[in-house]
A = this chain, B = another copy of it.
């Protein structure tokens, strides 16, 4: 092996991976090495800065436990999670855009009947969600599965408030009807902060960034023969839509939640009057079609 120098550092390290059996692993390590060495050279990183980075990464790893993943949080606030999600789930035509899964899909959503109310404690602004799942040509996808979960009106998921919310509050797994349609009752979720009591919170503070995510309902939609989509439905009048801490907002996913004042309709769906409504059509790509290709890479 050629000896290491400032000039050839990345090449020497890349050459050390020559015996890697997994070709993809070798390619990933070579690319990572080139970028990290270029970063250090471009910034002329000091020894103190290097030591601070080592300390930050160590504390980030040690903040992880069975219910907290601080490295995912770091990936989120650097836009890395969203970028990986986006390049692995490109849209085509009018297909519904994806966004991050997030850390709160940790329990299975309970199966529900169309029209059920997933707000088990009834706290919050009542809301009727309607929608339809279709294929790329608008064909309705009968029997599509719609998995939804969301924060409550105070910005907390059930698993964050085990003593204050009923178990599996604001979670449901629905099956679309023969026309691909679905509907359920819930409450309007609230925006909320990601956890800030760890190294990632310190990073946000040091960079003058707020930790908030705009209000949203999570969806995972699947149908046999179609590509699943993991996405959010964002509430248009929520704060932080233009500065989501994890960069999850896509404008195609933002919807108005208009107020309906109609006692007959309220009685029909089982909600107090007035209530809010939103309609969310979800368009899936076919599994057999080739995955959409990316745009030119830009750094």
Binding site for B on A (CB under 8 A): 1, 3-7, 9-10, 12-13, 16-22, 24-29, 31-47, 49-50, 54, 57-62, 64, 69, 71-72, 75, 78-88, 90, 206-209, 242-243, 247-251, 294-295, 297-299
Contacts and interface: CB of A to CB of B under 8 A. Distances in A.
A78 B36 contact: yes
Main DSSP-derived SS at the A contact region = helix
A291 B12 CA distance: 25
Given A29-B207, A61-B57, A207-B29, A87 B36 contact: no
Contacts of A25: 206-207
Given A19-B209, A206-B22, A54 B37 contact: no
Contact of A83 (B6, B90, B242, B249): B6
Contacts of A81: 50
B36 A80 contact: yes
A83 B6 CA distance: 6
A202 to B, nearest CB: 11
Contacts of A207: 16-17, 19-20, 25-26, 29
Given A9-B79, A20-B206, 4 more contacts: A3-B250, A9-B82, A50-B81, A62-B64
Contact of A208 (B10, B21, B71, B84): B21
A31 B20 contact: no
A83 B40 contact: yes
A84 B48 CA distance: 10
A6 B44 contact: no
A61 B61 CA distance: 4
Nearest to A298: B7
Contact of A62 (B28, B47, B61, B209): B61
Contacts of A46: 84, 88
B35 A39 contact: yes
A89 to B, nearest CB: 9
Nearest to A252: B3
Contacts of A59: 61
A13 B78 contact: yes
Q: Among the interface residues A4, A29, A41, A86, which one has the most CB atoms of the partner chain B within 10 A?
A: A4
Given A31-B43, A35-B39, A87 B22 contact: no
Given A46-B88, A79-B12, A4 B54 contact: no
A297 to B, nearest CB: 4
A276 to B, nearest CB: 24
A4 B49 CA distance: 29
